Amino acid sequence: MRLLFLGDVVGKSGRDGVADGLPGLIERHRFDFVIVNGENASHGRGLTEGHFGEIREAGADVVTLGDHAFDQRDTLSYIAREPTLLRPINLPPGTPGRGANLYESRAGHRVLVVNAQGRVFMDPIDDPFRAVEAAIAACPLGEQADAVVVDFHTEATSEIQAMGFFLDGRASLVVGTHTHIPTADHRILKQGTALMADAGMCGDFDSIIGVDIEEPLNRFLTGIPNGRFTPAEGKATLCGVAVETDPRTGLATRLFPVRVGGTLSQAVPGF
């Protein structure tokens, strides 16, 4: 099975980049299943229902969220009826929506997707390791699931690496989101789980992590806010990771970083 994961979509640049670039990626590389993190897609914070629909229409089978999951008020009104939208599984009990779900790929494979949020340098939240472990135990790789993908929305790359080793042999892919910077540590661990500490973002890299340069630079220089953060609107780079899995085990056999369009050096899947 061929899986594509794209990192945080940031603002209009990211949405336009996904709409323009994702269909061609799916067609050229014959991806069976696509996951996109959309938590910054609407004005840089959260995801409206309309923008969720745009990402799905572009080819995303599942859209994941993160610490900005409910920054757009209408998310509360639609997340419970959208099974293809996931929020972090370790949010408090009673939070609307779901943090994990089993889906069917284009070829009929069963794909478990889990969305979790980290705790290092982030707001207090329930234990992500135990929450993810419980979701996978209920739908094990090679039994109920043909592939398992975990989007771990974290600030610290060490925390996502820890999650990768924690799940090695029990997940097809463990990938980090949130920092918006693609890491170069993509690899397949000893027991067959693909790991990448951060997928990067789908957005304009002529920016400071997707935001127009002026205001964040002002805050670094002066410590005094002078306005709101505004998503940059130049041409987007689509960043993420592509994985091919063993049809017998669901574990990773090949792994490639993805960087398409915009200003970053380009990287495309080797299949």
pLDDT in tens, 158-185: 999 999 999 999 999 999 999 999 999 9
Positions of the chain with pLDDT under 50: none
In the Cβ-directed half-sphere of 237, how many Cα atoms lie within 13 Å? Answer: 25
Closest CA to 166 of 134, 198, 200: 134
Residue 197 CA to residue 34 CA, distance in Å, equals: 18
Sign of CA dihedral 167, 115, 124, 67: positive
pLDDT in tens, 79-121: 999 999 999 999 999 999 999 999 999 999 999 999 999 999 9
> What distance in Å separates the CA atoms of residue 213 and residue 157, rounded to the nearest whole number?
24
Domains, the chain, with CATH or none = 2-204+233-260 (3.60.21.10)
Question: What pLDDT does residue 109 have?
Answer: 97
Question: What's the confidence (pLDDT) of residue 269?
Answer: 97
pTM comes to 0.97
Enter the tokens of residue 177. 């989101």
Tell me, yes or no, if 68 is annotated catalytic: yes
C-alpha torsion sign, points 120, 126, 127, 131:
negative
Secondary structure of 219-237 in the HEC alphabet?
A: HHHHCCCCCCCCECCCCCE
Please give the pLDDT value at position 255: 98
Residues 148 and 179: beta-carbon distance below 8 Å: no
Q: Which residues pair with 259 in a beta bridge?
A: 239, 267
Assigned token pair, 56: 């799905």
Write the CA distances from 169 to 22, 138, 165, 252, integer angstroms: 29, 16, 9, 9
pLDDT computed for residue 230 by the predictor: 95
- Looking at residue 232, its amino acid is A
The angle subtended at Cα 92 by Cα 87 and Cα 94, nearest 5°, is 85
Q: Considering 29, 43, 51, 68, which one is annotated as catalytic?
A: 68
- Which residues does residue 260 pair with via DSSP β-bridges, in sequence order? 238
Inter-axis angle of helices 49-58 and 11-29, to 10 degrees? 20
- At residue 243, the pLDDT reads 98
